[in-house]
Amino acid sequence: MHIYKHEIRYYECDRMGITHHSNYIRIMEEARIDYLDKLGWGFDKIEADGVVSPVVSVECKYKSPTTFKDIVEVEVKIGSMSELKFEFFYTMRKEGKLVAEGHSVHCFTENGRPVIIERRLPELYERIKKSM
């Protein structure tokens, strides 16, 4: 489990002053990137090795609105991991109150072809596995 904090910016809000729903997907991505950075295997390092990690699927369920200057704490967890893909779960809270829950699935590719991360980047695979 990892906690990432995001402060809602003015431009992330709609005309009603509520955080636009699309921004929660971006916040999930920020949290995922921060999670991997904290593991010592950020996307910059992964991509420098010639591997990319596209999103296979993503979903977000909205529970309660947030507004400008709110601090959203995102709990990031790895749900499962296989040879070709892994999934993240996100729980987003404002002052302890649930505001959204999300889920994303990712794979690893090199030159457009799927790679088995355990073989291609074994150190990353082990770090993710230990963090579960």
Q: Which of 14, 44, 49, 70 is catalytic?
A: 14
Residue 49 appears among annotated catalytic residues: no
DSSP 27-39: HHHHHHHHHHHHH
CA dist 46 and 38 (Å) reads 13
The rounded distance, in Å, linking the Cα atoms of 130 and 132 is 6
For residue 52, give the amino acid letter.
Answer: V
Strand partners, 94: 97
40-124-93 Cα angle (round to 5): 60
Backbone phi and psi for residue 70, each to the nearest 5 degrees, phi listed first? -65, 145
Residues labelled as active-site residues: 14
